[in-house]
Amino acid sequence: MGNSSIHVIPGQTIFPTDPVPKFFYINAITKAVNAVVTFTVDHDYSIGQYISFRVQKPYGMFQINEMRGKVLNLTSNTVTVDIDSSQFGTFIYPVSGDNTPPITVPAGSGVIPGIYVPEYTLFDAFENLRPQ
């Protein structure tokens, strides 16, 4: 088959089948000098990557909400990050309620190394939050 392209009709809404950035649902977080995060599925994070947390109060460890951590170690469904969660509340799943599930999302990492013209990624630029 030859080259293919997408033709977009003005006003048409396109929904990506593989959204970027990806997020992963959190199943557990340890209380440790370097927190270990377990996900509900296998992730595609890599060592050295920065991730951000979205954990609301009903899940106990709300202190980690909006924090950014560097991935230090990993398995197929866990990451160890450079966040000291040892003094945070215990991570739990609430018994009831309509709560936003806890997730991690990739975070920017500053200067992109190894390119001729320096470029930057912005920390959590994908959040599109209104300035306060």
What pLDDT digit, counting tens, does each position of 78-122 carry? Answer: 999 999 999 999 999 888 777 889 999 888 645 444 555 545 455
Domains annotated on the chain, with CATH: 24-127 (2.40.30.180)
Cα separation, 126 vs 116, whole angstroms: 25
Cα separation, 32 vs 18, whole angstroms: 33
25, containing H or E segment: strand 24-29
pLDDT for position 4: 43
Q: What is the mean pLDDT of residues 3-27?
A: 63
**Is pLDDT above 80 for 3?**
no
Confidence label for 35 from pLDDT (cuts 50, 70 and 90): very high
Residue entry with tokens 């990993």: 74
pLDDT for position 129: 47
Q: Which of 54, 31, 34, 33 is nearest to 102 (CA)?
A: 54
Q: Which comes out higher in pLDDT, residue 6 or 32?
A: 32
**Is pLDDT above 60 for 20?**
no
